[in-house]
């Protein structure tokens, strides 16, 4: 069976925990793991812009002893008619795994259906599961664990990060609250799936509109851009309704006194988060960014080990 990570709930709670354990070991012994020695190659493909994902996969694959092939898809045949399924089939003949950042989740699903090697979602319109593995590793490091901790995500509660916080946070046994303005609520199907997962892990999920209620006594306060890639010209006001959701000192004051702040970056400083908070003592965002590297190395290792022909 070929294992993929297309959504956060593609990992069971036990598997997610195992990947995070491995990520912590890999972080402690950064150059000690070489499962891609050969070198085996990994294709890392981008339909959208990136800094962290691009560099962390490139560096991580090299550190695992492999050969990263990082390509912007505009230079491939993706945009001029070659089907994603054919690309998935062809790439499977060359590489050990395919990492893809793209638009609709249907696009990555098409690649995964055709591929015979693991396919990893490096961000779609719907989800950002690699980011969540890094975030959960950061929560473990700063909060001593994930189970029973409360995570509040405020901002665009309809976007990929909100959906991934719901699914991955529930998988990790967290109490996840997401809050956004009217019209920016999570996909009900994702919320229902997260609630189902939370029942089995002792976590919980809630979708709110009140940012203060979401943040109250939280251990982790997370946010993300109000305008995701591809939404720049969607005609919606992505500033005014979001202003009460800005993570500033006042909003953070409602969280637990030792709460940490997460932001996947890039940040729009002065919009969804203030400089004072992003650069302040409660910010864990640069640990979070570093943890992309360790988490993704562990994820690739896990998926390759679990994939049997």
The tokens describing 142, both together, are: 């700063």
Would you give the DSSP letter of residue 11? S
Size of site (CB under 6 A) for ligand CP: 9
Kindly tell me which of 178 and 264 has the beta carbon lying closer to ligand NVA: 264
Site string for ligand NVA, 69-108 (x = CB under 6 A): ----------------------------------------
Using H for helix, E for strand and C for coil, what is the string for 235-292? CCCCCHHHHHHCECHHHHCCCCCCCEEEECCCCCECCCECHHHHCCCCECHHHHHHHH
**Known catalytic residue at 264:** yes
The annotation status of 20 as a binding-site residue, yes or no, is no
Nearer to ligand CP, 201 or 291 (CB): 291
Residue 228 interaction partner, one of ligand NVA, ligand CP, none, beta carbon < 5-8 Å per kind: ligand NVA
The stretches of the chain forming alpha helices (DSSP H) are 13-28, 52-63, 84-94, 105-114, 129-143, 160-171, 188-201, 211-215, 249-252, 275-278, 285-306
Q: What is the DSSP letter of 15?
A: H
Choosing among ligand NVA, ligand CP, none, which partner's interface includes residue 51 (Cβ < 5 to 8 Å by kind)? ligand CP
**229 annotated to bind ligand:** yes
Tokens of 108: 């990555």
Annotated catalytic residue, options 128, 140, 193, 263: 128
Whether the CB-CB separation of 263 and 226 falls below 8 Å is answered with no
Task: Kindly state the tokens that stand for 97.
Answer: 């795994």
Q: Cα-flanking dihedrals φ and ψ of residue 42, to 5°?
A: -130, 130
The stretch among 50-58, 71-79, 180-188, 210-218 that binds ligand CP (CB under 6 A) is 50-58
Is 248 among the annotated ligand-binding positions?
A: no
- Catalytic: 143? no
Task: Tell whether residue 131 is among the known ligand binding residues.
Answer: yes
The stretch among 16-24, 29-37, 103-111, 157-165 that binds ligand NVA (CB under 6 A) is 157-165
Q: Which of 26, 64, 143, 161 binds ligand NVA (CB under 6 A)?
A: 161
Q: Is 77 annotated in the active site? A: no
Instruction: Please pick, from the candidates 5, 87, 119, 123, the single residue that binds ligand CP as defined by CB under 6 A.
Output: 123
Q: Which of 17, 131, 223, 227 is the binder for ligand CP (CB under 6 A)? A: 131
When asked if residue 238 is in the footprint of ligand CP (CB under 6 A), the reply is no
Q: In angstroms, rounded to a whole number, what is the distance separating the alpha carbons of residues 13 and 32?
A: 26
Q: Give the residue among 84, 172, 82, 180 at the shortest CA–CA distance from 129.
A: 172
Structure tokens at 140: 């473990």
The site for ligand CP (CB under 6 A) is made up of: 50-53, 123, 131, 264-266
The site for ligand NVA (CB under 6 A) is made up of: 123, 159-161, 224-225, 228-229, 264
């Amino acid at each position: 069976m070929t294992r993929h990570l297309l959504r956060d709930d593609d990992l069971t709670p036990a598997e997610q925990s195992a990947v995070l354990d491995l990520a912590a070991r890999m972080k402690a012994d950064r150059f000690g793991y070489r499962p891609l020695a050969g070198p085996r190659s990994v294709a890392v493909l981008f339909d959208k812009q990136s800094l962290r994902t691009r560099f962390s996969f490139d560096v991580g694959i090299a550190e695992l002893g492999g050969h990263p092939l990082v390509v912007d898809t505009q230079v491939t045949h993706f945009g001029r008619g070659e089907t994603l399924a054919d690309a998935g089939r062809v790439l499977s003949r060359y590489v050990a795994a395919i990492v893809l950042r793209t638009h609709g989740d249907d696009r990555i699903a098409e690649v995964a259906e055709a591929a015979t090697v693991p396919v990893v979602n490096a961000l779609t319109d719907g989800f950002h599961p690699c980011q969540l593995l890094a975030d959960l590793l950061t929560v473990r490091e700063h909060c001593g664990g994930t189970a029973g901790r409360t995570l509040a995500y405020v901002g665009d509660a309809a976007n990929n990060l909100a959906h991934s916080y719901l699914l991955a946070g529930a998988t990790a046994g967290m109490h996840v609250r997401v809050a956004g303005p009217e019209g920016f609520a999570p996909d009900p199907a994702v919320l229902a799936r997260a609630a189902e997962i939370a029942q089995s892990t002792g976590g919980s999920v809630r979708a709110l509109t009140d940012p203060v209620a979401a943040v109250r006594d939280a251990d982790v306060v997370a946010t993300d851009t109000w305008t995701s890639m591809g939404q720049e010209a969607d005609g919606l006001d992505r500033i005014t309704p979001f202003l009460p959701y800005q993570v500033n000192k006042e909003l953070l004051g409602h969280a637990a006194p030792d709460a940490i702040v997460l932001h996947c970056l890039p940040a729009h400083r002065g919009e969804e988060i203030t400089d004072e908070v992003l650069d302040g003592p409660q910010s864990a965002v640069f640990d979070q960014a570093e943890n992309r590297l360790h988490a993704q190395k562990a994820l690739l290792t896990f998926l390759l080990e679990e994939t049997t022909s």
